[in-house]
A and B are shown apart, each in its own frame.
Chain A
């Protein structure tokens, strides 16, 4: 299973990579929404995990673009966020986000949330 992780924080990318690859996922990385789109243009992935606050293109724009393309309607997108307020999450969902993961994440929870949205 391939996961695209999109986050501007190297720390978070590294931790996601570690957790996910230990769980047997193949991990692709992008540092912002635009780079995430670039990856999706050439790669098949099974699930996307994206941060909200990023330079160049934020997570919400990224999700909108992914959904707007029409090619990735069934691609689960998990929003990775520390926002405890409902706003950002709701914006992310309205844009087409499938679910969310609250940072900091527990490795087991992370995997179980992925299994909630991926066959």
Chain B
């Protein structure tokens, strides 16, 4: 059943959002914000998970969520204090709810005992908490069993419904009802209160429903109507006596009809025994018997000739919203069944002008499959390329000749750029969704390591492409683990060093041009460089005599298989942490920079592209081939003839720029392409790599700027050092994207050899 599958997909989608929300709320609660708003939000999240789960019959999930919800309900109304143990239980419960949701999603069984312990704790707390509060609260009982995943109309205990004595027809206005000898014969007295009308209940609808149970006779009692002087237009003067003849009706089924008006009316339901009944009239008699004054519909034209009782009806008809319902009349099930829904629908259709243009009012956002957005993103990407290709085709002759075309192309370029921004904005999401998972991680890490750590987050609202966000969770987790495990010192050590016992990890996000910078910073001991170098030598990551700068040493922590942990803990230190960070981040076109200050702490910065789809680049030529260099990393371009080259003491070629010596990489040499061009005619592209380090790339020619859609080399070919990816140019040629960061980093193995 595809409908059901759709609903389930929606439900699981919603669940994962709600679970994230739970994390956030508990992070704030843990931080001391135990406000009613937060507790309500937590309650609602669990409540929604339970509600939807019930609809699909996820009974294990529902039962657990229900027990948890009951506890939360007590917590939010203050019957149970949210002490630390209770908070810990709740956080544990959130995990279990996630497990149950996951089990429901994948169809795997968790076993009956799963979560039983926690449920017992909920129940113990809930019952204990409730006992401490007002006695006689109706939620005291074992609530889990009450919840039934089937639709259970709640039976109303109508006063006197079953036990009411038989009421003889004492009132002289009572018209005796027909009676079938073999059938159940019920007499119902019904006197609405004003609240009944105030809640939009309508006696006519009740009678209609009663008529579905059997043959119904309705008698309006109008003798309550006061003299005109005392008459209140909105007063309730009409009561009814009804007789229901039905072989199947029971006190319950009749009571159910009045379920919604219980407490808003005087009601008695009594079964007549046959000896109290009178002789049975024929059906023809029946029609005559029930000819109450109000049987005919009242129209304005008839008002003048009306009796007082009828006048009362008119008043009510004119103010149906607050006063009485339309006149009662004899109704039989055959008359009532088919008409109402379709008729009402037709009437409404007539009344409404242009139903379609109002459809969906009140909806301010739509949910779209990510695939559909990606299709648009891709197509916009291609459009951008086509547009840049067209622009390239315009040479000066054409420009002079077709000015209109040029203007059109300029508008096209602008529109395309706007379209692209708009599409990217659709995919952008605040980093909050990832950041919100981290407080809990830090909490757990603090617990496991016995350290005191607090997490600060800054810039949660910074938006970044959804795909990037998805790839961010693992690297951030590793980085924070690393900070907690290796960075922050034990409280004793911190005290001895004169630092506050509580270590701080700061997680921040900010936008910087076309990039997002995400930093994890701790105030721990910094990277122990001596130890890093020693370990790197021991593990042959670097050569025995290789001299490294501090920065290079710091970056060793990203080398595959590197770990300085003294003992392999279950947190980090298995040596598969930071190299995973680096490869994950590189995969999404980002880079990692680490900066450490001994004794003061470490800061790791991720530089991520705003979007993965399109890159602004400079198109250059190296040998016969086109290459592109990301515009975001280019500082300036210089003609080689004007460049100030020199030699470093090591013999390496350097470029002097404003008193600074910059490493030079000739791309033709580096990529082993023959360059036919004279050095004087070539160009230097000065780039800035991670950490502000500059590198000068020598290219044969600069063609221009454009945008490209990145295609992964790893997916389509294989990873090449110094190349970040590929792209297809407007003319169909493939150009490789230069990895500035990768070219800058000296290849440690080679250098060591």
Contacts and interface: CB of A to CB of B under 8 A. Distances in A.
Contacts of B322: 73
A100 B152 contact: no
B137 to A, nearest CB: 9
B52 A12 contact: yes
Interface string A83-94: 011110000010
Contacts of A10: 10, 13-14, 367
A8 B41 CA distance: 11
A11 B10 contact: yes
Contacts of B147: 82, 84
B370 to A, nearest CB: 16
Contact of B54 (A82, A87, A93, A115): A82
B732 interface: no
A36 B361 CA distance: 10
Contacts of A119: 202, 204-205, 340, 344
Given A11-B14, A96-B198, A46 B348 contact: yes
A7 to B, nearest CB: 9
Contacts of B362: 4, 28-30, 35-36, 38-39, 43
B265 interface: no
Interface string B341-368: 1001100100010010011111110010
A9 B43 CA distance: 13
B151 A55 contact: no
Contacts of A77: 199-200
Interface string B202-241: 1011000100000000000000000000000000000000
A42 to B, nearest CB: 7
Contacts of A65: none
Contacts of B7: 11, 14-15, 18
Chain B interface residue number, banded:
35 or more
Given A12-B52, A18-B7, A119-B205, A93 B151 contact: no
B114 interface: no
B320 interface: yes
Nearest to A72: B200
Interface in B613-670: none
Nearest to A52: B47
Contacts of B202: 74, 117, 119
Contacts of B152: 102
A105 B198 CA distance: 26
A46 B343 CA distance: 13
A113 B263 CA distance: 19
A76 B13 contact: no
Interface in B260-311: 260, 263
B151 A109 contact: yes
Given A67-B198, A98-B201, A103 B345 contact: no
A96 B344 contact: no
Contacts of A33: none
A26 B199 contact: no
B48 interface: yes
A74 B151 contact: no
B51 interface: yes
Nearest to A18: B3
Contacts of B201: 76, 98-99, 117
Contact of A74 (B10, B11, B150, B321): B321
B712 to A, nearest CB: 34
B259 interface: yes
Interface in A104-119: 104-106, 109, 115-119
B55 interface: yes
Nearest to B206: A116
A74 B200 contact: yes
Contacts of A116: 205, 209, 260
Given A35-B362, A118-B344, 7 more contacts: A9-B51, A10-B367, A11-B10, A18-B3, A44-B352, A67-B199, A99-B201
Interface of A: 1-2, 4, 8-12, 14-15, 18, 24, 26, 28-30, 35-36, 38-39, 42-44, 46, 53-55, 67, 73-77, 82, 84-87, 93, 96-100, 102-106, 109, 115-119
Interface of B: 3, 6-7, 10-11, 13-14, 40-41, 43-44, 47-48, 50-52, 54-55, 138-139, 143, 146-154, 197-202, 204-205, 209, 259-260, 263, 320-322, 340-341, 344-345, 348, 352, 355, 358-364, 367
10 contacts: A2-B348, A24-B341, A26-B355, A43-B362, A53-B43, A53-B44, A77-B199, A87-B138, A96-B198, A98-B199
| Closest A-B pairs by Cβ, 5 of them | A99-B260, A39-B362, A11-B52, A104-B55, A74-B321
